[in-house]
Amino acid sequence: MRTLVLASSSPYRRELLQRLRLPFDCASPDIDESTLPGESAEQLVRRLAEAKARALAERFPNHLIIGSDQAAVQGPAILGKPHTLERAVEQLKASSGASVTFLTGLALLDSNSGRCQVDCVPFKVHFRELDEARIRRYLEAEQPFDCAGSFKAEGLGISLFRSTEGSDNTSLIGLPLIRLVDMLLAEGVQIP
């Protein structure tokens, strides 16, 4: 079996991929993640997932390379990673009582043949009504400043939700494993 490479430095994606019990390496791609003029959130995450995988193709010439990228969308706005407490407070205030759709782009590149499977997996989160005191308590406890949408669904962030909807809850954390298994099977990978 060819070695898998996760084109990411995300500990969240690494933990998810470990669930499949397949050996893999990790390497961080160095790409520009800026949105292109007129690019939709779905186009953005698809393009970046593939770009991340392709960025490592020369370094890993006979591998299956997994790229993934995520954007949170509320109405027409793309919510990025907040990076600061105050931006996280503003994101969660805007999400209070509302719905946010997470779009996770996924790419599986056969670096030997150049063949690349690309998809986008949506997942919707419906937030509870959140007051500022609750938002600040949550942010101080978990500090999700490197997470799109300002929460960690795999942690205490789940307490902020009224409900969720989607075909693969792992897409919310950043690596849709159900779709990835489909892609790996199409490449002949044996999943335990």
Point out the catalytic residue in the list 25, 69, 119, 146: 69
131 is catalytic: no
Tokens of 101: 């759709």
Closest listed residue to residue 174, CA positions, set 50, 15, 53, 23: 15
DSSP labels, 91-123: HHHHHTTSEEEEEEEEEEEETTT--EEEEEEEE
Closest CA to 100 of 162, 36, 175, 142: 162
* DSSP helix/strand/coil, 57: coil
Burial level of 98, CB count in 10 A (0-12/13-18/19+)?
A: middle
**Residues counted in the chain:** 192
Active site residues: 69
